Amino acid sequence: QVQLVESGGGLVQAGGSLRLSCTASGSISSVNFMGWYRQAPGKQRELVAGIDSRGSTNYADSVKGRFTISRDNAKNTMYLQMNSLSPEDTAVYYCALSTPSYGYWGQGTQVTVSS
């Protein structure tokens, strides 16, 4: 069993920054992929940024150049540095982790960007 706990969400003004953290605990033998997803009211959940086991990253076009995903394997923690935030980034942000056999989700953290 793997547990993911996100932190770092909150309210920020447009143009501001936030850093989200996701710490994994439990039986983690092998991780294929970790990522950040978000879901705004009335919209589908979408992938914001991901990082695979080799450290390769990918980003949604809407956040390229503004968001940076990283991971600290020693701490079992993944981060999402979000800069130049806009109201369109307002959503619940979810951490996700996949192993060869299963996928896990965090409980989500709210990010609200005021104009």
Instruction: Give the pLDDT confidence of 25-78 residue by residue, as tens digits.
Output: 987 778 889 999 999 999 999 999 999 989 999 999 999 999 999 999 889 899
> Given this model, what pLDDT does residue 104 score?
95
Q: Which helix (H) or strand (E) holds 4?
A: strand 2-7
How far is it, in rounded angstroms, from Cα 103 to Cα 1?
A: 10
CA atoms within 13 A on the CB side of 22: 27
Across 80-100, average pLDDT: 96
Please determine, for residue 21, whether its predicted confidence score (pLDDT) is greater than 90: yes
> Given this model, what pLDDT does residue 80 score?
98
Q: Which helix (H) or strand (E) holds 113?
A: strand 109-114
